[in-house]
Chain A
């Protein structure tokens, strides 16, 4: 089973600032990596797939990069609606499909 590790657990950022979230896989997942956003009481929403492709309707301030074992989600200028928990997920080796433990982006 591939273990996904996200860092940091919590990221405190001011509105308008840049946020950089990291995700590391225990073995290569090539570019088969997705990012999801989850707000309290809501279902997760797909942001990025293929490590760097934005899903339909996702603003350009969200970008993903990386391949192999190390990945980054960048939010270029945080808006109020971006404060949430973000999960990475690998879909290269399955089953199981595995998620990271999440990074909470909170208002500084």
Chain B
């Protein structure tokens, strides 16, 4: 069965960095686009970033552009989110999510989600 497991969260001071990982299993990871979506405490869902199946394309929300970097290692079935210059407003549960499309197609609907990992930015 499809599994996505995030790790790397925690408490970090404003301005510092953190790297999240998402370990995938149960499907051919290299065939799917992958996204990060976040949810601030008590708030709704916010799309953060996407990377195409082969790493060829990546896009970011304006709120994180220039500070966050999405990457993947298809040999390790792992998705990453490098977060720099963290702000208090980046505090959220971060989910990795599989795109519903396959191979060259990114659809933008999310058919499987990890359990989420909490990132708290606080001094």
Chain A residues within 8 Å of B, Cβ to Cβ: 32, 34, 36, 38, 42-46, 49, 55-56, 87, 89, 91, 94-102
**Residues A34 and B109 in contact in the complex (CB < 8 Å), given A95-B61, A96-B61, A97-B47:** yes
Q: Is the CB of B44 within 8 A of A97?
A: no
Q: Is the CB of A99 within 8 A of B44?
A: yes
Query: B24 an interface residue at 8 Å Cβ cutoff?
Result: no
User: A42–B113 Cα gap in the complex (Å)?
Assistant: 10
User: A101–B43 Cα gap in the complex (Å)?
Assistant: 8
Could you count the A-B residue pairs with CB atoms below 8 Å apart for me: how many are there?
61
User: A55–B50 Cα gap in the complex (Å)?
Assistant: 21
User: A89–B39 Cα gap in the complex (Å)?
Assistant: 14
Chain A interface secondary structure, helix, strand, loop or mixed?
loop
Q: Is the CB of A43 within 8 A of B115?
A: yes
Residues of chain B lying within 8 A (CB to CB) of residue A91: 107-109
Cβ of A16 to closest chain B Cβ, rounded Å: 28
Given contacts A46-B100, A46-B109, A101-B44, 7 further A-B contacts (CB under 8 A): A43-B114, A44-B95, A56-B111, A87-B44, A95-B60, A96-B47, A99-B44
Residues of chain B lying within 8 A (CB to CB) of residue A98: 47
Q: Is the CB of B59 within 8 A of A94?
A: yes
Q: Is the CB of B46 within 8 A of A99?
A: yes
| Of B45, B95, B112, most A-chain CB atoms within 10 Å | B45
Residues of chain A lying within 8 A (CB to CB) of residue B107: 49, 91
Q: Is the CB of A43 within 8 A of B116?
A: yes
Cβ of A87 to closest chain B Cβ, rounded Å: 6
Residues of chain A lying within 8 A (CB to CB) of residue B46: 99
